[in-house]
Amino acid sequence: MATAIPKITLSSSRDIPFNRLVLSQSNVRRAKSGLSIEELARDIERRGLLQSLNVRPVLDGEGTETGTYEVPAGGRRFRALELLVKQKKLAKTAPVPCVVREAGSTILAEDDSLAENVQRVALHPLDQFRAFRDMLEKGMSEEEIAAAFFVAPAVVKQRLRLMTVSDKLLEIYEQDGMKLEQLMAFSISDDHARQEQVWNIVSQSHNREPYVIRRMLTEKTVRASDARARFVGLEAYIVAGGHVMRDRFEADDGGWLQDPAILDRLVMEKLQEAAEQVRAEGWKWVETALSFPWGHTRQFAEIDGTEVPLTDEETARLEALHSDQETIEAEYAQADEYPDEVDARLGEIERAILALEERPLAFDRADMARAGTFVSLDSDGMLQVERGFVLPEDMPAEPEETDDADGSDEYAHGAYDGPNERIADYGSDEGAVGDSIAADVEPEEEDGIKPLPDRLLSELTAWRTLALRDAFASNPHIALTELLHTLVRDVYWQTPGADCLEAHVREISLPVHSPDMPGSLPAHALRQRNEGWKHDLPEEEDALWRWIDGLDDASRMALLAHCLSFGINALYERMPSYGAVSQRSVSERLKRADRLAAALSLDLVEAGWQPTVENYLGRVTKARILQAVREARGDEAVERIAHLKKPDMAREAERLLEGAGWLPEALRTARLADQALVETVTAREDMEAIAAE
């Protein structure tokens, strides 16, 4: 015979006069920060109470009900009603809908209070958008919607911008296929077909940052010198139906490709073909992207490979190239500079030598079965394949270490992790970006120039940090000075540790950066230097100390500078008021970074930074764009672009600033900046004098 399922009994509900209600001491919500009682009171005044209070009878010493009820769940609503009573907008005896828990219940009051707050589910941003959209379609204005929910009109406008996003992408977001900040990046365009194509590209990529999505959606033309165009080739692009715009009156470096969608499709197709060829080598996984963020391999371990030796034919070819190089250099040893054709020939020889000397690695098949590869483009439009990376979960379990039989251990395991130490526990830079579609773009101002946005400053100083690391690693003398400075400060101004030597280097991640940074000159130099040291290091860690001890002084200094460079931190960060690091500490860090940059004569122009729409000009106000052009090219150039709309002004400014050597203030090195300003002014005055004659 089936057992009857016991039926639950719900608590009764009834109206209770407000003056018979008191706030319970069992209410778990104690923190008053952010409760916004005034806003809730105004909302109740407008629409009435939407949710009952949860109450319990107050008993006297003998356990008899007193006619008063305490409120353990619904304290914020109670306070809002209390405020309305004080404002004479609600009668003291006004009936309040209440759910009444019986006296002596086994469920604690704290239990009810906690459950009410924990069990609630915040509204999904997509549901909020749909509600705002429905209200808008039914006649409410954006300002009325904002006022009804006590949010800034900008929040409503931002959510309603999602009306421009493809339904397919909204569905992907609803199923947690993308983040809110990525979805909002798509709202910059109303071309649904292009939106979906861009998502198809970035969803296959390791780099799905919102700035990548915005860049692809806002591109209207692509320079023929762009890495993607060089990778695909103009002929293939034209055959696929793409058009090229040329300037018949000035050098245009090959022109501009007018169909970015076609170009991106061809690039991804060619990358996928390359990825399939790499996958056929036997790798467990292959990731493809136009480019990967700086430091994308940090959380991976690496497997070791052996360098493929030169064949007899390659050895002969390398010797012939070196011979040709020496012959040409000897022939023009007395010349001030090489003729163009000779310079081009030397460049070809150097690239051919580099291709032969940078030997590919051969990997064990068993290692390849648990490792993977990254396939992307380098800054020159060449295919870049990074092999041999292993996810932490795919690493074989380490056997337990035991000391030698005599209990001694000559070298402590893990005492030195080398320059490729992987630190996985870095903070992310996602934050609450979803609340602002253009959080990294400087808002227009009526008068004066306000400070740059925090994210743009972070990107600029990430570029500077990378260049500073490269310069630092190239100057062992400065590196040693900085190390000694740090050690002396630790000894005399801070509490020393108990270890033999507490000095250490922790690689500082650069999660926020502009898309051009991973392919920059400093990035390339750091990668090359790192690969060179990796190649030279002994295979066994036990041999490391003896290997370092046997290096000559110049090599030891160079290795020291290289290792220390990973700890260079010249990053701007906006610190929360309750953070462990204060804003003053960040300011001190930047001050010391300025001193180091001056000592190294760091020049970001020589390091390859160039102002573009993507990394600066499209992210700041028109006033800053005009200020940059004025500093670099003078008032006449400013007058030529001052009437343009911001997107056109940014593009024209990029063209005008090309080769001008202009830098935003955050990237300038004080002494060099003063010298550059003098040279710029002198050159401009000379040009004006020539024009006057």
Instruction: Please state, in angstroms and rounded to a whole number, the distance separating the CA atoms of residues 545 and 547.
Output: 5
Interval 504-527 mean pLDDT: 81
Percentage of the chain beyond pLDDT 70 is 80
The whole-number pLDDT of residue 296 equals 81
**Residues composing the chain:** 693
Residues 6+ apart with CB under 8 A from 65: 57, 58, 59, 103
Instruction: Please state, in angstroms and rounded to a whole number, the distance separating the CA atoms of residues 654 and 661.
Output: 12
Retrieve residue 633's tokens. 């090219």
CA distances from 442 to 65, 433, 464, 648, 664 (A): 62, 14, 20, 17, 14
- What does the longest C-alpha to C-alpha distance in the chain come to? 113
**Residue 437 — very low, low, confident or very high, per pLDDT cuts 50/70/90?**
very low
**Residue 97 — very low, low, confident or very high, per pLDDT cuts 50/70/90?**
very high
The whole-number pLDDT of residue 86 equals 92
Contact yes or no for 499/584 (Cβ under 8 A): no
For the ranges 75-89, 111-125, 178-192, 221-235, the lowest mean pLDDT is seen at 111-125
The whole-number pLDDT of residue 445 equals 56
Mean pLDDT is highest, among 128-137, 341-350, 540-549, 578-587, for 341-350
CA distances from 529 to 6, 245, 351, 496, 558 (A): 73, 40, 17, 33, 10
The whole-number pLDDT of residue 504 equals 67
pLDDT, one tens digit per residue, over 452-479 is 888 888 889 888 888 888 888 888 888 8
Q: Is 413 exposed, middle or buried, given 0-12, 13-18 or 19+ CB atoms closer than 10 A?
A: exposed
The whole-number pLDDT of residue 486 equals 66
Contact yes or no for 90/84 (Cβ under 8 A): yes
**Residue 274 — very low, low, confident or very high, per pLDDT cuts 50/70/90?**
very high
The whole-number pLDDT of residue 185 equals 83
SS3 11: coil
The strand ranges marked E within 92-182 are: 95-100
Interval 491-496 mean pLDDT: 44
**Residue that wins the pLDDT comparison between 416 and 313:** 313
Pairing of strands 65-73, 21-23: parallel
Dihedral sign for Cα atoms in the order 670, 676, 679, 680: negative
Contact yes or no for 599/536 (Cβ under 8 A): no
Contact yes or no for 515/291 (Cβ under 8 A): yes
**Residue 442 — very low, low, confident or very high, per pLDDT cuts 50/70/90?**
low
Q: Is 389 exposed, middle or buried, given 0-12, 13-18 or 19+ CB atoms closer than 10 A?
A: buried
Residue 371 pLDDT exceeds 90: yes
**Residue that wins the pLDDT comparison between 526 and 118:** 526
* Residue among 45, 105, 100, 120 nearest 77 (CA): 45
Could you give the angle at which helices 167-174 and 192-202 cross, rounded to 10 degrees?
40
Buried b (16+ CB within 10 A) or exposed e, 273-284: ebbeebeeeebe
Residue carrying the six token digits 């008032």:
635
Could you give the angle at which helices 553-565 and 521-536 cross, rounded to 10 degrees?
130
Count of C-beta atoms within a 10 Å radius of residue 459: 27
Q: Which residues partner with 306 through β-bridges?
A: 362
Pairing of strands 301-302, 256-257: unpaired
Helix, strand, coil in percent for the chain, rounding step 5: 50, 10, 45
**Residue that wins the pLDDT comparison between 497 and 381:** 381
Instruction: Please state, in angstroms and rounded to a whole number, the distance separating the CA atoms of residues 618 and 646.
Output: 8
Residue 663 pLDDT exceeds 90: yes
Residue 612 pLDDT exceeds 60: yes
Residues 6+ apart with CB under 8 A from 492: none
Residue 373 pLDDT exceeds 90: yes
Contact yes or no for 202/213 (Cβ under 8 A): yes
Retrieve residue 179's tokens. 């983040």
CA distances from 207 to 390, 447, 495, 558, 643 (A): 18, 37, 42, 33, 36
How is residue 20 annotated by DSSP?
A: G
Retrieve residue 412's tokens. 């402590």
pLDDT, one tens digit per residue, over 565-598 is 888 888 887 766 555 556 777 888 888 888 889 8
- What residue type is 349 in one-letter code? I
* Residue among 528, 494, 522 nearest 510 (CA): 522
**Residue that wins the pLDDT comparison between 289 and 441:** 289
For the ranges 139-143, 210-214, 262-266, 489-493, the lowest mean pLDDT is seen at 489-493
The whole-number pLDDT of residue 448 equals 60
Q: Is 336 exposed, middle or buried, given 0-12, 13-18 or 19+ CB atoms closer than 10 A?
A: exposed
- What residue type is 506 in one-letter code? R
Residue 69 pLDDT exceeds 90: yes
Pairing of strands 361-362, 301-302: unpaired
Q: Which residues partner with 16 through β-bridges?
A: 96
SS3 119: coil
Interval 388-392 mean pLDDT: 89
Average pLDDT, the chain: 78
The whole-number pLDDT of residue 252 equals 55
The whole-number pLDDT of residue 653 equals 92
**Residue 277 — very low, low, confident or very high, per pLDDT cuts 50/70/90?**
very high
* Residue among 647, 629, 611 nearest 214 (CA): 647
- What residue type is 602 in one-letter code? L
**Residue 372 — very low, low, confident or very high, per pLDDT cuts 50/70/90?**
very high
Instruction: Please state, in angstroms and rounded to a whole number, the distance separating the CA atoms of residues 496 and 285.
Output: 46
* Residue among 109, 23, 1, 107 nearest 69 (CA): 23
Interval 371-387 mean pLDDT: 87
Residue 427 pLDDT exceeds 50: no
Main-chain phi, psi angles of 54, to 5 degrees: -100, 120
The whole-number pLDDT of residue 428 equals 34
pLDDT, one tens digit per residue, over 616-646 is 998 889 999 999 999 998 888 899 899 888 8
pTM: 0.48
- What residue type is 324 in one-letter code? D
**Residue 20 — very low, low, confident or very high, per pLDDT cuts 50/70/90?**
very high
**Residue that wins the pLDDT comparison between 543 and 664:** 664
**Residue 417 — very low, low, confident or very high, per pLDDT cuts 50/70/90?**
very low
Instruction: Please state, in angstroms and rounded to a whole number, the distance separating the CA atoms of residues 627 and 635.
Output: 9
Q: Is 250 exposed, middle or buried, given 0-12, 13-18 or 19+ CB atoms closer than 10 A?
A: exposed
How is residue 540 annotated by DSSP?
A: S
**Residue 21 — very low, low, confident or very high, per pLDDT cuts 50/70/90?**
very high
Interval 67-79 mean pLDDT: 89
Contact yes or no for 280/266 (Cβ under 8 A): no
**Residue 399 — very low, low, confident or very high, per pLDDT cuts 50/70/90?**
low
Instruction: Please state, in angstroms and rounded to a whole number, the distance separating the CA atoms of residues 11 and 103.
Output: 11
